[in-house]
């Protein structure tokens, strides 16, 4: 039931935060697919704006196939971009499986590129067929710790409501199952958040 | 079976339209549900029968008809003939329809762009575009194969239409009457436009700037409705190529790390506002680049701080629970939301039904919305049992 809150916050961020178009990719669209320089640009922008990173780094260990992970901002991306991230292996992308330790990795974490750790979700925002060349545009939200917040008004968080049929109608035929919540969202520091817009290089599976 | 049915009714006075000759404006009715049945009574037409008048109309979500192999969900109407005696007809498209603008962006059908002319407000040529002033569209496939045509800038930018000169042309707020713009013509492959169905789900939003007039105060023109109120605190994101980077909130060369913000001091119109920045010595804003490479980012202005437009002050003359209204200059429409917290963004998700301006099937100069000043009563239902 928390998904409803997440979707509202997602669309609010898409509407209210400023954007940077990816230009480091090779597909000649606007925005382009993600290139490693786009990750550098956004991280540099947030660093310049004194945003707080979410995660401290992971020190390297003597384990085959692993590498150290920098302190990082989070980027919220679509699962449809995972093939593009894999394509950046060797250029800067480090799969979560190749972290020295997975202790601090989140379940949805796909990997990292330089100072950005990537979380993927099928619910990430996509504007279909809307790039310059008519391709899908992905909103990759990169944020520092102080960027956004979520307020339960009057402490009124998500309530799951169940009324059995006896209480839901005169004829006791139907039950009621619902959720309700009173919440608002806020960008607490606009300089600490950017939507990195990109298209996709790889074909989408069906 | 009425446990979960929903019913609503109301009246409105029609704007625009002349009986038998000019289509009325589209009317949007926001509701807390998406109805499956709507009926209209045009009180004005019912009381004073006249040819082309439509006193009664009915629409059912499950009533479909096939005409010429095409499936329609028609609006059934009662209409006065030339006697005038009441008879029946239908509106096959753009009669009564429902909508639900919720999460994520939804687009209308794509249409081929025939051309775009060079003008202070670019004029887009699309056959029978069907758009109105206030509709928001995005364009794509414009000069994408060349780098030396500045028309390339307008791809994937939301534009709220500023003028509709005729059924085949509309104007957008971008100055293409400059040296590095080469007019678009001959229906380029992939040059398309489509309507953004619910462009302002959360307000105020991140805006693309189309022009900046520097001076003792600074005037900002945008590609779409800015939805700012006087007193709004705003921040700028202007890439170097567009010139006026001194407005940017960061970096601040005087106090490093301290963002520079501005305040809206007046609203010129739904696209334009003025901020309290003396920009006399700033670099001129430039939308005439000689080369446009891929990956460019457009100049933007967005709301920040705690004085967003979510709440309206309750005064002695205001409604007790004033809903936020958008856009913020003219043609303001209340959202379905109640009074918001001062400083909150407005959630503008909405659902309800639309009374369109499609002509009736047989009498092609009659419209279900009637004509200007008609008083129309509507009733909307969502049934908890429907067969089918």
In whole angstroms, what is the distance from residue B252 CA to residue B257 CA? Answer: 6
- Tell me the nearest-neighbour CA distance from A90 into chain B, angstroms: 23
Nearest CA in chain B to A150: B344
Q: Which pair of tokens denotes residue B55?
A: 């006193």
Res B1 pLDDT > 60? no
pLDDT of amino acid B104? 67
Q: Is A11 on the interface with B (CB under 8 A)?
A: yes
Res B244 pLDDT > 90? yes
- Per-residue pLDDT tens over the stretch B85-124: 999 999 998 899 998 876 667 888 999 999 999 999 999 9
pLDDT of amino acid B309? 64
| Pick from B140, B206, B237: CB nearest A132 | B140
Contact A23 B296 (CB under 8 A): yes
Question: CB–CB of B26/B60 below 8 Å?
Answer: no
Beta-bridged to residue A199, according to DSSP, are A33
Which stretch of A22-26, B34-38, B183-187, B317-321 has the lowest confidence by average pLDDT? B317-321
Res B342 pLDDT > 80? no
In whole angstroms, what is the distance from residue A7 CA to residue A1 CA? Answer: 11
Judged by phi (left if over 0) then psi (alpha if -120 to 50, else beta), residue B24 lies in: beta
Helix (H), strand (E), coil (C) string for chain B: CCCCCEEEEEEEECCCCECCCECCCCEEEEECCCCCEEEEEEHHHHHCCCCCCCCEEEEECCCCEEECCEEECCEEEEEECCCCCEEEEEECCCCEEEEEECCCCCECCCEECCEEECCCCCEEECCCCCCCCCCEEEEECCCCCCCCCHHHHHECCCEECCEEEECCEEECCCCCCCCCCCCECCCCCCCEEEEECCCCCEECCCEEEEEEECCCCEEEEECCCCCCCCCCEEEEECCHHHCCHHHECCCCCCCCCCCCCEEEEEECCCCEEEECCCCCCCCCCCCCCCCCCCCCCCCEEEEECCCCCCCCCCCCCCCCCCCCEECCCCCCEECCCCCCCCCCCEECCEEEEEECCCECCCCCCCECCCCCCCEEEEEEEECCCCCC
Residues 54-83 of A with CB under 8 A from B: none
Nearest CA in chain A to B199: A15
The CATH-assigned architecture of domain B111-195 is Beta Barrel (2.40)
What residues of chain B lie within 8 A of the CB of A18, using their CB?
Answer: 206, 235, 237, 300, 302
Q: Where are the alpha helices (DSSP H) in chain A?
A: 2-16, 36-48, 82-87, 165-168
Q: Is A48 on the interface with B (CB under 8 A)?
A: yes
Q: Is B156 on the interface with A (CB under 8 A)?
A: yes
Mean pLDDT within B246-252: 90
Mean pLDDT within B32-54: 95
Q: Is B250 on the interface with A (CB under 8 A)?
A: yes
The CA radius of gyration of chain B, in Å to the nearest whole number, is: 24
Measured between its terminal Cα atoms, the distance across chain B in Å is 15
Contact B205 A20 (CB under 8 A): no
Mean pLDDT within B20-31: 89
Residues 107-126 of A with CB under 8 A from B: 125-126
**ipTM, two decimals:** 0.88
Domain ranges in chain B with CATH number 2.40.30.180: 202-304
| CATH of span B202-304 | 2.40.30.180
Contact B141 A187 (CB under 8 A): no
What residues of chain B lie within 8 A of the CB of A24, using their CB?
Answer: 295
Query: Pairing between strand B75-80 and B56-60?
Result: antiparallel
Q: How confident is the model at residue A168 (pLDDT cuts 50, 70, 90)?
A: confident
Q: Is B297 on the interface with A (CB under 8 A)?
A: yes
pTM recorded for the entire structure: 0.85
Mean pLDDT within B177-197: 95
Nearest CA in chain B to A29: B294
Instruction: Enumerate the domain spans of chain A.
Output: 2-147+188-198, 153-184
- Per-residue pLDDT tens over the stretch A71-90: 999 999 999 999 999 999 99
What residues of chain A lie within 8 A of the CB of B155, using their CB?
Answer: 30, 131-132
- Tell me the nearest-neighbour CA distance from A198 into chain B, angstroms: 9
Contact A16 B302 (CB under 8 A): yes
Query: B224, B211, B298, B144: which is closest to A21 by C-alpha?
Result: B298
Contact A127 B105 (CB under 8 A): yes
Question: CB–CB of B310/B345 below 8 Å?
Answer: yes
Q: Is A9 on the interface with B (CB under 8 A)?
A: no
What residues of chain B lie within 8 A of the CB of A15, using their CB?
Answer: 200-203, 205-206, 345
| Pick from B3, B104, B105: CB nearest A169 | B3
Nearest CA in chain A to B301: A18
Q: Is A137 on the interface with B (CB under 8 A)?
A: yes
pLDDT of amino acid B143? 94
pLDDT of amino acid B55? 97
Q: Which pair of tokens denotes residue A33?
A: 């697919």
Q: Is B338 on the interface with A (CB under 8 A)?
A: no
In whole angstroms, what is the distance from residue B309 CA to residue B186 CA? Answer: 43
Question: CB–CB of B375/B11 below 8 Å?
Answer: yes
Q: In what order do the strands lie in the sheet with B123-125?
A: B115-117, B123-125, B169-171, B163-166
Contact B3 A171 (CB under 8 A): yes
| Pick from B105, B138, B206: CB nearest A19 | B206
Q: How confident is the model at residue B286 (pLDDT cuts 50, 70, 90)?
A: very high
| Pick from A24, A137, A187: CB nearest B295 | A24
Res B318 pLDDT > 80? no
Mean pLDDT within B19-45: 92
Res B335 pLDDT > 70? yes
Q: Is B320 on the interface with A (CB under 8 A)?
A: no
- Tell me the nearest-neighbour CA distance from B331 into chain A, angstroms: 22
What residues of chain A lie within 8 A of the CB of B296, using their CB?
Answer: 21, 23, 30
- Tell me the nearest-neighbour CA distance from B373 into chain A, angstroms: 36
Mean pLDDT within B2-20: 89
In whole angstroms, what is the distance from residue A192 CA to residue A47 CA? Answer: 9
Select the more confidently predicted residue: B87 or B347.
Answer: B87
Nearest CA in chain A to B236: A18
Phi, psi torsion values for A138, nearest 5 degrees? -100, 135
In whole angstroms, what is the distance from residue A203 CA to residue A135 CA? Answer: 11
């Amino acid at each position: 039931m928390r998904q409803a809150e997440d979707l509202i916050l997602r669309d609010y961020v898409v509407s209210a935060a400023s954007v940077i178009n990816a230009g480091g990719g090779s597909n000649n669209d606007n925005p382009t697919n993600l290139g490693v320089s786009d990750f550098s640009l956004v991280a540099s922008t947030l660093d310049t704006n004194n945003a707080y990173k979410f995660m401290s780094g992971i020190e390297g260990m003597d384990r085959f196939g692993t590498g150290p992970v920098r302190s990082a901002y989070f980027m919220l991306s679509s699962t449809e971009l995972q093939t593009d991230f894999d394509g950046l292996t060797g250029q800067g992308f480090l799969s979560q499986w190749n972290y020295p330790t997975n202790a601090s990795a989140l379940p949805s974490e796909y990997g990292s590129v330089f100072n950005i750790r990537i979380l993927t979700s099928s619910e990430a925002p996509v504007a279909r067929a809307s790039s310059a060349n008519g391709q899908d545009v992905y909103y990759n939200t990169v944020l520092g710790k102080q960027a956004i917040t979520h307020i339960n008004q009057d402490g009124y968080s998500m309530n799951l409501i169940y009324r059995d049929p006896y209480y839901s109608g005169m004829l006791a035929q139907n039950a009621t199952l619902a959720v309700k919540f009173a919440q608002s969202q806020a960008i607490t520091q606009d300089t600490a958040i950017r939507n990195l817009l990109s298209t996709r290089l790889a074909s989408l599976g069906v | 079976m009425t446990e979960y049915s929903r019913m609503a009714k109301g009246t409105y006075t029609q704007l625009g339209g002349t009986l038998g000759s000019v289509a009325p404006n589209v009317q949007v009715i926001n509701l807390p549900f998406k109805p499956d049945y709507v009926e209209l009574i045009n009180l004005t037409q019912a009381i004073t029968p006249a040819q082309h008048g439509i006193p009664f109309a009915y629409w059912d979500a499950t009533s479909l008809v096939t005409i010429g192999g095409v499936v329609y969900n028609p609006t059934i109407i009662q209409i006065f003939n030339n006697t005038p005696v009441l008879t029946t007809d239908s509106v096959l498209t753009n009669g009564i329809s429902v909508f639900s603008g919720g999460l994520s962006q939804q687009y209308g059908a794509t249409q081929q762009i025939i051309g775009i002319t060079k003008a202070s407000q670019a004029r887009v040529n699309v056959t029978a575009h069907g758009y109105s002033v206030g509709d928001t569209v995005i364009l794509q496939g414009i000069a994408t194969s060349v780098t030396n045509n500045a028309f390339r800038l307008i791809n994937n930018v939301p534009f709220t239409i500023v003028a509709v000169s005729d059924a085949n042309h509309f104007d957008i707020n971008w100055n293409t009457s400059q040296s590095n713009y080469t007019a678009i013509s001959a229906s380029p492959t992939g040059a398309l436009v489509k309507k953004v169905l619910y462009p302002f789900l959360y307000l105020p939003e991140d805006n693309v700037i189309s022009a900046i007039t520097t001076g003792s105060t600074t005037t900002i023109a945008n590609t779409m409705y800015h939805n700012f109120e006087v007193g709004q605190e705003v921040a700028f994101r202007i890439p170097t190529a567009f010139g006026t980077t001194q407005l940017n909130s960061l970096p601040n060369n005087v106090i490093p790390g301290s963002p520079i913000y501005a305040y809206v001091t007046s609203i010129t119109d739904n696209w334009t506002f003025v901020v309290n920045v003396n920009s006399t010595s700033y670099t001129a804003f430039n939308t005439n680049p000689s080369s446009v490479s891929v990956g460019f980012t457009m100049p933007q202005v967005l709301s920040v701080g705690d004085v967003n437009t979510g709440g309206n002050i309750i005064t002695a003359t205001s409604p007790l629970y004033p809903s936020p209204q958008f856009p913020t200059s003219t043609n303001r429409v209340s959202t379905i939301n109640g009074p918001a917290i001062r400083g909150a963004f407005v959630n503008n998700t909405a659902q309800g039904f639309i009374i369109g301006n499609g002509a009736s099937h047989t009498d092609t100069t009659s419209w279900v919305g009637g004509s200007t000043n008609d008083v129309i009563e509507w009733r909307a239902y969502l049934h908890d049992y429907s067969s089918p």
